[in-house]
Amino acid sequence: MFGEKKQSINKASGETELKPGDAPVPTPAGVKQPMAPEDTSIYFMPDSFQAQKYETHYAHRKQGKLIVILGLVLLAVLAAAAYIVFFDPSLLNGGSNVVPLPTPNPNPNDIVVTSSTPVPAPATSTVATSSAIVVALGPKDTYIKYKNKIASSTNETEVLVIIKSMGTPDRVALAKKTVDNFSKMTATAQQKYWDLSGEPFHPLQGNEIIKENIDGSSATVTITYPDRTGGGQVGLLLMDGVWKVNAETWTGKKIVTQRSNGADSDSDGLTDAEETAVGSDPQKADTDGDSHLDGTEVANGYNPIGAGKLISDQNITTYINDSFGYSCLYPDAWTKTVGANNASVKFSTDDGQAITITIAANTKHLSAAVAAASAWNVAQVPASQQFNSGSTSYAISSDGLTAYLTDKAQKYLITFTYNLGDSNIVNYKTIFRSIVVTSVFGK
């Protein structure tokens, strides 16, 4: 099976080569059978078998090496697992020495307040403390926003909503107490309804020196008047990541800024701003040529650009309050904002000024003149400032920026207030008067 057998006769002896199938030649007697040469029979191993043997040998060596490597890897994994379990279990939770990446501020103007120890909270206020609280609005900006909201409100209900939103629980509790007693206040107190904290109301004019000092979860905002005669201090508390107004303390006298009337190019009693609002010509004193100055006509409820009443002016529209049966006229270009329960309305101009009307129950049935005298702290309102017009009676202050009006039955008391905003220029005094004059009850 391992190869073919080849039979041959030694050629050196000269004997004949036997072929397959030939009978063997007999050996003579006495002659020894000669031994066949060493190359007489030769056996060969096939090349294919030798190659197969070597391939099998090398395959077994490779498998052995792979088994050894896998064994070493498995041993290393088991050793690492044993180390973590028995020597450093904290690695299972991310490691005891892992330092988290800092979280970027969502806004570059945000203030990040950090505190290593909690700051004790006042007895009646809950102050939220945290190791890292992101505050979107600082104490100073919070207070300015708070004051601006208060100044733009139209009644005590709106003020209470503002304080609930931006004040501490102490501040809110005091505000609620004041509002509960609002109906019992005098006209003077009602006129100052925004003073819900029991402190004087100091509107910000925009030129004060305002500084903030933050101490953990509390802050103090200091307001200094431009002439340094006084100022205020406001305490704020950080609650749930938001600064809340807590208390105000004011000292010194309030500065009264000198006011001046707006420009009146044609000297007709209407400022140029009012001429634009009603559609008259600022360069012509009598726009419609009816021998009456434009200012005189508007102040008394007449149309300065044509015949008839002021309602005939296409630039004028009517505000109707069905809840109280009240109406008045105002420039159509102005923005109207109606307060809660229709108890107030504000007409705002494009230059930041506004006229606010507030309606309240006249529980003492005061006349407009008596209510005005009480509010202005005078014994009696001069007759030149008192008027009667159909279903109403009213009184206008000497500076023309405040008025009181009652219906004929003195069931309601209406307060008119002209807010100059950040300006000291009175641009709409005549229109303010026309709103009062055109006020009507019962329609």
Q: How far is CA 211 from the centre of its chain?
A: 23
CATH number for position 130: 3.10.450
* Token representation of residue 89: 């279990």
Q: What pLDDT is attached to residue 291?
A: 94
Average pLDDT (98-119) is: 41
* Token representation of residue 128: 């939220």
Question: How many domains does the structure of the chain reveal?
Answer: 3
Whether 167 is in a domain gets the answer yes
Are both 293 and 416 inside the same structural domain?
Answer: yes
CATH number for position 281: 3.40.1000
Query: Higher confidence at residue 344 or residue 119?
Result: 344
Q: How far apart are CA 1 and CA 332, in angstroms?
A: 122
Which letter does DSSP use for residue 32 in this model?
Answer: P
In percent, the amount of the chain with pLDDT more than 70 equals: 63
Which of residues 48, 63, 95 is at a domain's end? 95
* 199 C-beta neighbours (distance < 10 Å), count: 13
Helix (H, G, I), strand (E, B) or coil at 361: strand
The answer to whether 234 touches 212, Cβ cutoff 8 Å, is: no
The dihedral over CA atoms of 54, 55, 61, 65, expressed in degrees to the nearest 10, equals 160
> pLDDT grade, residue 185 (50/70/90)?
low
Are both 232 and 117 inside the same structural domain?
Answer: yes
Q: Taking the complete model, does pTM exceed 0.75, yes or no?
A: no
Could you read off the pLDDT of 349-388 as tens digits, one per residue? Answer: 999 999 999 999 999 999 999 999 888 888 899 999 998 8
Are both 152 and 202 inside the same structural domain?
Answer: yes
Could you read off the pLDDT of 319-336 as tens digits, one per residue? Answer: 999 999 999 999 999 999
Are both 219 and 282 inside the same structural domain?
Answer: no
pLDDT at 215 over 70: yes
Q: What pLDDT is attached to residue 379?
A: 87
Q: How would you classify residue 392: left for phi > 0, otherwise alpha for psi between -120 and 50, otherwise beta?
A: beta
Q: What residue ranges in 109-148 does DSSP mark as E strands?
A: 111-113, 133-135
Query: Higher confidence at residue 275 or residue 48?
Result: 275
Angle subtended by helix axes 169-180 and 156-166, to nearest 10: 170
Angle subtended by helix axes 139-152 and 156-166, to nearest 10: 170
* Token representation of residue 248: 């105000």
Return all residues near 424 (Cβ < 8 A) that are at least 6 apart: 257, 258, 259, 260
In angstroms and rounded to an integer, the radius of gyration of the C-alpha atoms of the chain is 52
pLDDT at 192 over 80: no
Whether 67 is in a domain gets the answer yes
Whether 432 is in a domain gets the answer yes
Which of residues 95, 129, 146 is at a domain's end? 95
210: Cα within 13 Å, side-chain hemisphere: 17
Whether 29 is in a domain gets the answer no
Are both 239 and 362 inside the same structural domain?
Answer: no
Return all residues near 20 (Cβ < 8 A) that are at least 6 apart: 7
The answer to whether 224 touches 392, Cβ cutoff 8 Å, is: no
Whether 46 is in a domain gets the answer yes
Are both 128 and 227 inside the same structural domain?
Answer: yes
Highest mean pLDDT among 75-84, 174-183, 333-342, 369-378: 333-342
Angstrom CA distances, 164 to 11, 51, 141, 169, 199, stand at 131, 96, 18, 8, 17
pLDDT at 69 over 90: no
Are both 265 and 386 inside the same structural domain?
Answer: yes
Which of residues 201, 225, 251 is at a domain's end? 251
Strands 260-261 and 425-426: parallel
Work out the angle at residue 233's Cα, subtended by the Cα atoms of residues 228 and 237, and round it to the nearest 5 degrees: 155
Mean pLDDT score of the chain, rounded to an integer? Answer: 76
Are both 331 and 423 inside the same structural domain?
Answer: yes
Whether 334 is in a domain gets the answer yes
Are both 279 and 202 inside the same structural domain?
Answer: no
Q: What pLDDT is attached to residue 181?
A: 62
Are both 246 and 289 inside the same structural domain?
Answer: no
The answer to whether 283 touches 277, Cβ cutoff 8 Å, is: no
Q: How far apart are CA 4 and CA 43, in angstroms?
A: 7
Are both 278 and 246 inside the same structural domain?
Answer: no
Angstrom CA distances, 59 to 7, 49, 62, stand at 40, 16, 5
Highest mean pLDDT among 52-66, 156-170, 242-256, 327-341: 327-341
Return all residues near 418 (Cβ < 8 A) that are at least 6 apart: 353, 354, 355, 400, 401, 402, 426, 428, 429, 432
Domain that holds residue 126: 112-251
Return all residues near 379 (Cβ < 8 A) that are at least 6 apart: 373
The answer to whether 304 touches 278, Cβ cutoff 8 Å, is: yes
Average pLDDT (178-201) is: 52
Q: How far apart are CA 311 and CA 435, in angstroms?
A: 11
Q: What pLDDT is attached to residue 81?
A: 73
Average pLDDT (8-28) is: 50
pLDDT at 63 over 50: yes
Are both 52 and 166 inside the same structural domain?
Answer: no
Quick one: 322 exposed, middle or buried, by C-beta within 10 A (0-12, 13-18, 19+)?
Answer: exposed
Tell me which residue has tokens 């749930």. 240
pLDDT at 303 over 90: yes
Whether 102 is in a domain gets the answer no
Q: What pLDDT is attached to residue 257?
A: 54
**Segment holding 75, helix H or strand E:** helix 47-87
Whether 127 is in a domain gets the answer yes
Across 26-30, 135-139, 264-268, least confident range? 26-30
